[in-house]
Structure 1
């Protein structure tokens, strides 16, 4: 059996190494994972109770329309329920967007170094991916605008950008959208938006009210701490959401995911505490990097990319031997950088201690 020709060249997504595998491979008893931008503080205490209550319904299909969750999220955001669509993580919403709007020969525009699932899903549909180089780790919106043609169907903006952590401001996004042709759908992937504290982050809800061709993606995997349950969502004009719904698989989010997300979205005090701890963690790491004379991109999510001036694979392996899992930039297009999730204070301190040891033993890149 031969697979479709649009997928034969595609790489398989490589997630961060799991804790259990590292313990087994290296004989370690303590491993800290700072590789996948998970919440080191877990999830709201209310989530556990919601999951325990849901066990009684384990034999029943979930609500295909996620009605209760839709109502809660809509109320939280100030939008209508018909402006929301849920998926098994925002990854699935990306997949559905590509399935709903792209056909063979269409073009789609994205940054050169960004979340790889945009390109992956677009090329499955036979679309041509136009990749615009970043400028200082940030989306070049003018360059992306210039790349739009009559064939362009979707533009992807990851904000804050993964893997660099950089941000395009509200003013920049507004100026960009004012020039984008109406036939082009602009996807604002805001998986890390809840961590932002700048006061300059785009108000995507307001933008969606102004532009029918804008959709924002968000997730419960990051600050809400529900990564294992796979639930994310899109917010857009009802017509756009209706089109995506037409390709959505039935029962695509589980009862447990919906119950957990419902409990999580109602506990905004937990979200506030996580945001504050993340801000403190970012400040600590930036201070430490400055003392080590290492340059990091401005970080606006719950991770930071820092240039260690050495082969990223060597630094990754050196940290791994010390029980610290990060993401090596050699896998992300940044051969002398590493991406590290902001952990708890204790985790951050252990990471810095291990990093100092590794930097002392790995030669600077010539």
Structure 2
């Protein structure tokens, strides 16, 4: 049985190590997972009631068009209902974009250290990924623009960037979009947008009316705390969204996901509270890293990428033994780990464990 030749050596996506597995393997009673950028403060209190109301419909297929959620979200963003598409997480929207637009031999431009799903989906469709080095941990938009050629179908910009947490400003993004050829898609992944407090940050949705080749991705997995319900969305011009919808599988989001998202998106107080607590957590961690003499990238999402001055895989294992799960494995940054900003208690326990490892009181592997 012969598969597509381009997937033979394709790496399988490795999610953050599960809490249950670590407890079982190491015999630990408490494990803190700071590896997958989940919201440590949970989800809106409105979600439970919304899900309980859907239990009576558990035998029914979900609304394939997510009509009620679309109506609420269109009002929230001030866009047309025909400008929105939903997916099983925003990573499914990435896969659908690749499926809809890429043919073998097409080229797509992205950073060399960014969300890996862009490249893996391009690989599946036989497209060629042009990877441009980050500049100070940030997208080098001028260098990315220079790589756009006749075969380029799409450019990916993760803002804030995963894993570095850096942003490009509104002025930088607008200058870039002004120079990108109109036949090249620009996919702006704003999965962590709701966490950003920097006034220089761009609101991609506000740019859609000016740039018909722009698609903005958002998700309910991060600040809204609905990671297990797998629901994300894309916003773009109606004609572009229609093309992506043509390759979407029916019923790709659940009744529970739709109901929870609809309840969450209008709870502005919960989002604001999480944003404030996350900013406080970033300030605490930055202060601790400064005290420990560790450098880090400016964090604008709900995670920080920090240089621990030792092979990241070793630090991962040493922290794991103390019940702290972080994220290593960034080829361009072999001594960096990515750590999710947790609750105040979780952050303090992470720093205590990190300091023990760095001081040598806990042996590295």
- TM-score w.r.t. the length of structure 1 is 0.98
Q: Any unmatched runs of 5+ in structure 1? A: none
Residues of 1 paired with 2:205 and 2:113: CA distance? 26
Residues of 1 paired with 2:361 and 2:316: CA distance? 11
Residues of 1 paired with 2:314 and 2:59: CA distance? 48
1:335 is aligned to 334
**Conserved 8 A contact 1:39-1:225:** yes
> Runs of 4+ in structure 1 displaced over 6 angstroms?
none
Q: Does 1:116 align with 2:120?
A: no
2:170 is aligned to 170
**Alpha-carbon distance change, 312 to 86 in structure 1, aligned in 2, over 3 angstroms:** same
Residues of 2 paired with 1:37 and 1:206: CA distance? 26
Q: Does 1:348 align with 2:328?
A: no
**Conserved 8 A contact 1:107-1:152:** yes
Question: CA-to-partner distance for each residue in 1:283-321, whole Å, 9 max, x for gaps?
Answer: 000000000010000010000000011111111111100
1:73 CA drift (Å)? 0.8
Residues of 2 paired with 1:8 and 1:227: CA distance? 29
**Alpha-carbon distance change, 332 to 89 in structure 1, aligned in 2, over 3 angstroms:** farther
What are the residue-to-residue correspondences of 1:1-366 with 2, within 5 Å?
1-328=1-328, 330-361=329-360
Aligned residue-pair number = 363
Residues of 1 paired with 2:252 and 2:126: CA distance? 24
**Conserved 8 A contact 1:314-1:362:** no
1:333 CA drift (Å)? 3.4
Q: Any unmatched runs of 5+ in structure 2? A: none
Residues of 2 paired with 1:50 and 1:261: CA distance? 9
1:362 CA drift (Å)? 8.7
1:201 CA drift (Å)? 1.0
Residues of 2 paired with 1:362 and 1:281: CA distance? 25
Residues of 2 paired with 1:168 and 1:331: CA distance? 21
Residues of 1 paired with 2:210 and 2:282: CA distance? 34
Residues of 1 paired with 2:348 and 2:136: CA distance? 27
1:331 CA drift (Å)? 4.3
Aligned-partner SS, 1:295: coil
Residues of 2 paired with 1:13 and 1:205: CA distance? 29
- TM-score w.r.t. the length of structure 2 is 0.98
